[in-house]
Chain A
């Protein structure tokens, strides 16, 4: 049994310790906003925050987050849209949208920790893959937030 704090709510799950958090969220808890893309932490579609840090949940064993504070896309904007989500709407970032939960979680973690990231830091922190190719808008939306 693992105790998880997800989006501020306490829950327990009775699963194998090596089950990745992604599948606990999606298949055990029904939180499908976090997406499966590659299963090897290469694409970032599964990104969530663990204790405020963007983390790829598809290779993160549930045992490693026992007791941790986890925030998923469903928790972001639970009490009103986060400024990053507002910018995403203003700049019409998503196309198919499948990668955007992970993209948003990566960007939010970065900007929460450093509101004025340099280009290299941004590129490193937001390495998510988007096959629709929304990067021009991702960058524009982030730039608009930096100017605030």
Chain B
């Protein structure tokens, strides 16, 4: 990426309509990246325009998929800018390299933090260098507020404010210290003068960017920390919010797809004689792994493809099945030499000193999971006059554009990717998992009209990139006080375990050995809300619970006693216990469970109350969550994320399972890939602790503690330890 200036942006874009546009340039130095960091690529972090009527428009480079980011990020900029919130507008940034979110990963590196997996492939650690930043506009890794917000939005707002004040001071020939910015105006109280930002913006934009704009203190916040309503709610309650699937273009046709049922299989041939004459039929197109049927309406395409005779080849993996995989993982955990994530003390030697009787051991297991976003995968594509346009919900619009260009064998400049809202993301909609974009582009390159390719729910569930199936093995020993002396944990890794610290726990244990054994499968796997934390939370927090019961100590007090080195965790855990009323007398058949997990820089504890009306049934009554993200930008948006993550994690814990037999996914739609709905949704209570530590993520962090807290509560209620998910597979019925 070459040096971009405001001028090149203005030339290449027509977004500016009066007023002034500020493009903020940040250099690696300013983030304090250690010596050796590349100096050559200066990057543009944030754009904001101020119109003559004082309207402030903030370009947000991240996708809205329900997490509220397109409200929270503008709040951070507007706060520093001292903008009048009623005049702030949000605009999703287009898929242009100038909106690439390189600052997001730079933020991780500068902070010495682990870069989330979704960004990993863009970073070459040996030189702290960013690769292919041109094509990255990722929304993921619970990173938007943490890095685009903190490094981009805040600093851009502060810089723009300083420039506006400077412009006013110059105009009035007064000292900047005598001027104050407030509600989109600059005031000079001594002379009684004031000017709106719109009036000052033109002059301000010609000033030098202040190299170190001063950020506000939290006690001075007027916008951040408040539950400002989301920008997108009004349209979403009247059916006016368009998603990718709602794009309508003149002459557009609709397409249905049928994939080879076996991963790695191919589509060989089709016979369309039976469907050719059907009303609205347009064409059938053979793709490498699938067949697409185009008609003038989606239902016609879908019903016709259901009748189409297709020959698939299974390829090499027609005999793959989940049971076989778990047998292989079992074998590997026993025999393979693990790659270590962490070692402390001498866990192996300590274990060898004991007989088998002295060792507490347990294996846990989770299945593959699909994302099942409410809006099924879809992509609209139109190739005309040498240009390809796509409309699709994606967590990386720029990456989607690059993917489309690669598939179509076009230059990036020949591809336009239009931003649209996502009907759910959860990690499903990255370019690296962009099979729905690929097939739409391949089809569009062969037909003269725009095509909207929609996956049926069955295709969506059976051709996902899944949360991996994982098995994890623990061994521990306890000292005379019941505290763990050895923590030995090896888990299977069939992919997507980028965060090598995900299996870590905050407890004091002298001898620890944590590692993974690698294995390959033909099942496509990828990021799923909270990624590896989704299963490591279940494993680690179930096993510590087992140790507590083995030691004969209350599981909350047991954990607390091991958190002497982790006061932030202890505070979160204690409040969760207090909020659920830990230790109170419970009715017969009720149980409380607790779990704590840090992910994406945020610590979350959950305490759950369940009842077991009968030995073989469970009702989830209440989930109490305590969350320490350091700082909360918009409490209601944050609370909604925590509530939503709990339901997402609960659906998986209770019901979620993707099973393969003969290379095929058995589940196909919501009746056999069940979800928590209103009847099963427990009461949720969320409390935030704003510790003032570095700001953490919000979108994923409440998923990991749900499964262990629920299973620990079930154990407390009926003595049944659940080591394999989902709960319904353990001869337990979930009651509403």
Q: Residues on A close to B: CB < 8 A?
A: 15-16, 19-20, 22-23, 26-28, 30, 32-40, 42-43, 45, 72-74, 76-77, 81, 85, 88-89, 92-101, 104, 122-124, 126-139
Contacts and interface: CB of A to CB of B under 8 A. Distances in A.
B298 A26 contact: yes
Interface string B427-469: 0000000000000000000000000001011000000000000
Contacts of B237: 77, 81, 85, 88-89, 93-94, 100, 104
Given A123-B679, A135-B677, 12 more contacts: A19-B300, A37-B457, A40-B457, A76-B239, A89-B229, A92-B637, A95-B67, A97-B423, A123-B736, A129-B374, A131-B648, A133-B681
A95 to B, nearest CB: 3
B669 interface: yes
A34 B245 CA distance: 11
Contacts of A136: 643, 681, 683-684
A128 B66 contact: no
A43 B245 CA distance: 17
Interface of B: 64-68, 227, 229-230, 232-243, 245-246, 248, 254, 279, 297-300, 302, 372-376, 421-426, 454, 456-457, 636-637, 640, 643-648, 651, 669-671, 675-679, 681, 683-684, 736
B677 A128 contact: yes
Contacts of B670: 38, 40, 42-43, 129
B426 A131 contact: yes
Contact of B678 (A36, A88, A95, A139): A139
Contact of A89 (B233, B239, B243, B279): B233
Contacts, number: 182
Interface majority SS (helix, strand, loop, mixed), chain B: loop
A99 B241 CA distance: 11
B238 A77 contact: yes
A88 B233 contact: yes
B648 A32 contact: no
Nearest to B650: A133
Interface majority SS (helix, strand, loop, mixed), chain A: loop
10 contacts: A15-B297, A40-B671, A42-B671, A74-B238, A81-B238, A92-B227, A98-B423, A100-B236, A133-B643, A135-B677
Given A26-B298, A35-B375, A94-B237, A137 B457 contact: no
Nearest to B684: A136
B456 A39 contact: yes
Given A27-B254, A95-B67, A131-B648, A126 B678 contact: yes
A100 B241 CA distance: 10
A73 B640 contact: no
Contact of B236 (A38, A45, A97): A97
A88 B426 CA distance: 23
B544 to A, nearest CB: 26
B248 A133 contact: no
A128 B421 CA distance: 21
B678 A122 contact: yes
A133 B233 contact: no
A96 B422 contact: yes
A19 B299 CA distance: 7
Nearest to A44: B677
Contacts of A100: 236-237
